[in-house]
């Protein structure tokens, strides 16, 4: 495929830059256990995550769980995840090399996640201490979650670039839809939480299976 210029690359976080599934699943299952609710296999969390914390909790609790009990599980999860968020989480192979290359090449970088903002910033600070990302946003109050384009468009406006010169990189249909809705090129990664067919059905313009492949679309 022909090379494409990218003035800005906006990355998703979980399943794209960091493999955080085990820590998320462990915290969620401990929260369920403490609430006397059934737990789930770690692999199932590949499909539970991606749409923000409220959606995660709704998906893991039993059907017809009251709103109050859902809030209890959410609070337990936050406490447990805060204590254990970096026990097993790490960058995917090749990500550090890619980000260093992009940064040195002058490509502008940002992160937009549906993970709560405080946890998003905590993870980025831990795994990218040199702060190569100009803007880092997670789930924030009064800002719609992805795939609504508001947050992505806000990043584009703040950084003074055009959507047409920007890429949105992620591992789920939510990310592909976010990029498309914001007028960006959507890049789906196959090393994350979801499968290639989901990314294509959601409108991915580009599919990559290794981080280094993203270099092809930057010049």
Residue spans per domain, the chain: 8-19+89-217, 21-84
Instruction: With cut-offs at 50, 70 and 90, classify the pLDDT of residue 2.
Output: very low
- Tell me how far apart the alpha carbons of residues 82 and 115 are, in angstroms, rounded to a whole number: 13
Q: Is the pLDDT of residue 44 over 90?
A: yes
Class of domain 21-84: mainly alpha
Which of these is catalytic: 12, 14, 23, 205?
Answer: 12
SS (H, E, C) the chain: CCCCCCCEEEECCECCCEECHHHHHHHHHHHHHHCCCCCCCHHHHHHHCCCCHHHHHHHHCCCCCCHHHHHHHHHHHHHHHHHHCCCCCEECCCHHHHHHHHHHCCCEEEEEEEEEHHHHHHHHHHHCCCCCCCEEEEECCCCCCCCCCHHHHHHHHHHCCCHHHEEEEECCHHHHHHHHHCCCEEEEECCCCCCHHHHHHCCCCEEECCHHHHHHHCC
Q: For the chain, state the CA radius of gyration.
A: 17
Instruction: With cut-offs at 50, 70 and 90, classify the pLDDT of residue 7.
Output: confident
pLDDT for residue 114: 97
Q: Is the pLDDT of residue 1 over 60?
A: no
Q: What is the pLDDT of residues 64-118, one digit of tens each?
A: 999 999 999 999 999 999 999 999 999 999 999 999 999 999 999 999 999 999 9
- Known catalytic membership, residue 12: yes
Instruction: With cut-offs at 50, 70 and 90, classify the pLDDT of residue 6.
Output: low
Domains 8-19+89-217 and 21-84 share a fold: no
Look at residues 3, 1, 2, 11 and name the one whose alpha carbon lies nearest to residue 184.
11
Is the overall model pTM greater than 0.85, yes or no?
yes
Look at residues 26, 52, 59 and name the one whose alpha carbon lies nearest to residue 120.
52
Q: What is the pLDDT of residues 136-190, one digit of tens each?
A: 999 999 999 999 999 999 999 999 999 999 999 999 999 999 999 999 999 999 9
Class of domain 8-19+89-217: alpha beta
């Amino acid at each position: 495929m022909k090379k494409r210029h990218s003035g800005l690359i906006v990355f998703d976080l979980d399943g794209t830059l960091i493999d955080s599934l085990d820590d998320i699943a462990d915290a969620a299952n401990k929260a369920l256990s403490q609430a006397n609710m059934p737990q789930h296999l770690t692999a199932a969390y590949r499909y539970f995550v991606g749409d923000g914390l409220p959606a995660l909790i709704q998906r893991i609790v039993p059907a017809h769980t009251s709103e109050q009990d859902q809030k209890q599980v959410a609070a337990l999860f936050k406490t447990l995840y805060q204590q254990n968020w970096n026990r097993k989480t790490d960058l995917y192979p090749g990500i550090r090399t890619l980000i260093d290359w992009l940064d040195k090449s002058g490509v502008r970088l940002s992160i937009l996640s549906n993970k709560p903002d405080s946890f998003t910033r905590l993870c980025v600070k831990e795994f990218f201490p040199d702060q190569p990302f100009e803007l880092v946003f997670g789930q924030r109050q009064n800002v719609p979650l992805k795939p609504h384009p508001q947050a992505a468009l806000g990043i584009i406006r703040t950084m003074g670039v055009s959507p047409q010169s920007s890429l949105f990189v992620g591992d789920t249909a939510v990310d592909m839809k976010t990029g498309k809705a914001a007028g960006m090129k959507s890049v789906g990664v196959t090393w994350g939480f979801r499968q290639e067919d989901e990314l294509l059905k959601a409108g991915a313009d580009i599919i990559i299976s290794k981080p280094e492949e993203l270099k092809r679309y930057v010049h």
